[in-house]
Chains A and B, each alone.
Chain A
């Protein structure tokens, strides 16, 4: 229903209620309905009807319901001649409204009383009970009252059964459960009655809290089990008891999934569905305890863990082991501890973070995003160590290329790695276990199996000293890199780019969080920067060699330049004092590329380097004091060298004079007539087709085009044309690095020799 329509309904109801005050009976149902937040629960029918009709129909139905409820409340009128007919009419009314819209909690309260007090016959009671469908919630008091009626003994066995089935089905819609929980002992006693036992078991299953599990109840349940054998409903309750009190009871459920409770809800299935839709939002997710076998996997494993990742369980067992010696303070602290099974939301986590009962197997946190939050901020070393050991061993055990290959198992391993990577992305942090796993498994990896997962693990290696990890990781990766296909090379470069980004992000956060302390190892900013710069240089070497191996592939070059797009912006984007330029092998390959997009990317990167270096220079001048992070003049010289070469080629048509120098004699020997112009923005092989298109656009009839005609005014038009073709990098580069003088072919460049 659209919000607009809902709005109309609210209005309609408000008006109705105002206009029909006189009809209000002792029932306070109207009050509930008046509440706008509840109003959406009112009928959905006749959306196209004019408001008047709708209002009218609704009015009538409500009136009839009030009368019906009033009728039942008074009890059967003995004298009335057509009593059956009246009864039937009122029953129908109640049923219709209940199944359509549900009943208000006050109505349910009254009708429950009627059904269980035995005023009417069994058949009527049954019919009333079956339509006790709440519009929103059932009040706890009604349930308590109803239970007290059961003790009077006015209703038949079948009504009792039906009541418990109803209670189980509607359990989630009861507004509070504290009072009901106080009746735990009463319900427990009902287990004796064979007919009630399955439903009461189910009710107890929903109701049981840790404090309800007592030794005498355990014994009683075991007696029942001895009497009745392996009943699924008893099994379920017993396993829940074991869950809360592993020191009292032990049970292991069969691996195959079973239905533990059946038939309780299906009488009200459709009504429940409708109700859930109506209640969407406000009603909190009911707490559902999972039985150990809920996530059954087809693969049977030797050690009966059902999945690689253990099921989440509180560690109550280890705690209670030393029960006898437990001190008073332990008792007190334990009562305050917050069981994991109840952890449903982030606010809950925040409130209870100091007293959380940790899982008995730390590996289970991988399956819970809330506990991953916990792992992320916890300083408790044992927690991290437990997780470390579990993950390291599991990775080692599951890793498929340690064993005979097996397809099913392979997929499982891939899924497991995916789970880990998801967790790492979620935490924005790598796990040490994964790093240790890479040390061991990289030398054995074929480069194919789980490639994507493996390379993602590489990109999440926690920040550390590059020279220390290089022989363990990067050198081994390099062997695969050089001997594999171009696609593998590209994926490695991609993951190294992500690694760099993760390191930079982490360092930039870290530096602003606390002052850099002088600690013996690589924890100074200088040390960290050194490590990052070594990584960049390493990727530079890889890239240069890869370009040679792949004969200057454009595809590969794109991935390399992507990496340098990250590198060139470190100073500004991450606020870290580091500028590393690309090696000449990459720069010249890009400058002489036949692909305009490569050249465009190169221009963009040069533009960003320019910005970063200028910003750095400015900061140095402001600070004046000599800091260890002032870039050496070599970096500036290197950049100027590149810049000069680039401007010489693209703009001033004087290539290889400044910047890179090539003896003119050699250039003449190449036989290219006008080599000087041949690399400018017009003649550069990657721009030539732009130049031709530009000319054809200017004068479409022209048979022959002369690209050399692009000069003077045309030159700037041509530039505008290039910019309009999406070459934004070129635009930024020219704007920042080339000065336009009034003369159209500007030659002055501002490459700041004062650097």
Chain B
């Protein structure tokens, strides 16, 4: 810290970051604070949400790329808006990030940007992964390893993948200026050390901030309800819940699997408002599961902690890990995750 010299204390500026300057222009910083106030003074989540529709994918979506995003476990992060990010510079970013990773891996050895390394970084856009036209385009970053052998079929292996997206991010988009690109949800698949290196590069280059996005039990229950409510042609997995009982020396996990059609039937019995899920319905749905379990095992699940929810749509872990199974509901799942990420960065 520099020493603050009392003698050079700053004359106060009338132009400084003060409410009325901003009220008049209704500036972004003020909007930001307003939205934080709103968030904190009311119940954090709206009491009702839409049941995901299957028709939400934009027309220009690349199905091959969507398939690539499914059936993988992603670690979730929230991300503050990227400053001066430009979609036209993706090639340049690849080169820079490539050199950065190589330099990080061999600490102390300098590398030339653009040199041919044994790894390759590819930035590419994920067309169509957005909720509204206002949402910025999602993009994907892949780290591939190039095999050393100059053989004919140089099959490059994917070392790490991460993608950035924003689905129905209006509440965030309204509070930042055009210098920023809002992609509040970041999903990574690969070693933590790679994520750290790449995250650091993004933080240094675009002045953004990554934070791990955990999902609490309250939000997991919402996911359980919303995903059970989705109409499915055929179910690929059973509906399963995992509760954790905090006891020593080892915690005890309780797994509770239900046939997906039974779960849907239960949901239909508690569900009243068409097309929407309400807080009461979520509570009721979970209470039914609890009382059913209690009748059989005399264990109050409500006293334990919900740590994982898996359905045919997707599965989510409280640590902030998610796996999406059904491409029809990809956007719906991402919309809720975006909402959670935005809540975290507010």
Contacts and interface: CB of A to CB of B under 8 A. Distances in A.
Given A235-B110, A251-B111, A317 B18 contact: no
A520 interface: yes
B15 A250 contact: no
B247 interface: no
Contacts of B92: 247, 321-324
A472 B34 CA distance: 12
A356 interface: no
B89 interface: yes
Contacts of B55: none
Interface string A372-404: 110011010110111011101110110000000
A437 to B, nearest CB: 9
Interface in B205-259: 205-211
Given A253-B107, A369-B4, A386 B83 contact: yes
B160 interface: no
A472 B345 contact: no
A426 interface: yes
A360 B17 contact: no
Given A321-B92, A322-B88, A523 B10 contact: no
A322 B177 CA distance: 20
A315 B23 CA distance: 30
A381 B206 contact: no
Interface in A614-663: none
B19 A463 contact: yes
A253 B108 contact: yes
A471 B41 contact: yes
Interface residues of A, number: 93
Contacts of B17: 384, 429, 432, 462
A318 B13 contact: no
A428 B41 contact: no
Interface stretch (A64-72, A297-305, A406-414, A704-712): A297-305
Interface string A299-337: 000111100001001010110011111000000000000
Interface in B310-325: none
A462 B110 contact: no
B111 A250 contact: yes
Nearest to B12: A509
A247 B113 contact: yes
B268 interface: no
B196 A426 contact: no
Interface in A406-463: 419, 422, 425-429, 432, 435-436, 439-440, 462-463
B101 to A, nearest CB: 9
Contacts, number: 218
Given A322-B86, A377-B13, A520 B23 contact: yes
A151 interface: no
Interface stretch (A189-197, A217-225, A675-683): A217-225
A290 to B, nearest CB: 13
A425 B205 CA distance: 30
B16 interface: yes
A250 B13 CA distance: 40
Interface in A465-483: 468-469, 471-472
B308 to A, nearest CB: 21
Interface in A348-362: 360-362
A439 B40 contact: yes
A752 interface: no
Contacts of B110: 221-222, 225, 234-235, 238-239, 241-242, 249-251
A439 B14 CA distance: 26
Interface in A512-552: 513-514, 517, 519-523
Interface in B104-119: 104, 107-113
A435 B10 contact: no
B19 A462 contact: yes
Contact of A302 (B103, B177, B192, B205): B192
Contacts of A436: 32-33, 36, 346
A388 B4 CA distance: 22
Contact of A318 (B81, B107, B206): B206
Contact of B29 (A304, A432, A513): A432
A249 B80 CA distance: 27
B290 interface: no
A436 B29 CA distance: 12
B190 interface: no
Contacts of B204: 310, 313, 317, 360-361
Contacts of B336: none
Contacts of B93: 321
B291 interface: no
A311 to B, nearest CB: 9
A42 interface: no
B324 to A, nearest CB: 26
A485 interface: no
Given A361-B204, A376-B10, A523 B19 contact: yes
B89 A322 contact: yes
B205 A252 contact: no
A259 interface: no
Nearest to B210: A303
Given A225-B109, A249-B99, A360 B207 contact: yes
Contact of A252 (B40, B104, B211): B104
Contacts of B102: 250
A654 B316 CA distance: 77
Contacts of A471: 41
Interface in B71-111: 80-81, 83-84, 86, 88-89, 92-93, 96, 99-100, 102-104, 107-111
B190 to A, nearest CB: 15
A313 B201 CA distance: 13
A519 B2 contact: no
A181 B328 CA distance: 64
B5 interface: yes
Contact of B24 (A315, A426, A506, A517): A517
Interface in B1-60: 1-5, 8-10, 12-20, 23-24, 27-29, 32-33, 36-37, 40-41
B179 interface: yes
A313 B110 CA distance: 18
B196 A303 contact: yes
B70 to A, nearest CB: 28
Interface string A222-257: 100100001000110011011000111111111100
Nearest to A370: B2
Residue among A241, A255, A382, A425 with max Cβ neighbours from chain B (10 Å): A382
A249 B19 contact: no
Nearest to B208: A389
B145 interface: no
Contact of B107 (A249, A252, A386, A462): A252
Interface of A: 218-219, 221-222, 225, 230, 234-235, 238-239, 241-242, 246-255, 302-305, 310, 313, 315, 317-318, 321-325, 346, 360-362, 366-370, 372-373, 376-377, 379, 381-382, 384-386, 388-390, 392-394, 396-397, 419, 422, 425-429, 432, 435-436, 439-440, 462-464, 468-469, 471-472, 506, 509-510, 513-514, 517, 519-523
Q: Which 8 A-B pairs have the closest CB atoms?
A: A250-B99, A251-B110, A513-B14, A238-B110, A523-B20, A393-B209, A389-B80, A250-B103
Given A369-B3, A390-B207, A519-B20, 18 more contacts: A247-B96, A250-B102, A251-B103, A313-B204, A360-B205, A361-B203, A369-B8, A376-B16, A377-B10, A377-B16, A381-B29, A384-B17, A385-B81, A386-B83, A390-B209, A396-B344, A428-B10, A428-B12
14 contacts: A242-B110, A246-B96, A249-B111, A251-B109, A252-B103, A252-B107, A254-B108, A303-B199, A313-B204, A324-B92, A462-B19, A506-B18, A519-B20, A523-B19
Interface of B: 1-5, 8-10, 12-20, 23-24, 27-29, 32-33, 36-37, 40-41, 80-81, 83-84, 86, 88-89, 92-93, 96, 99-100, 102-104, 107-113, 176-177, 179-180, 192, 196-197, 199-200, 203-211, 344-346
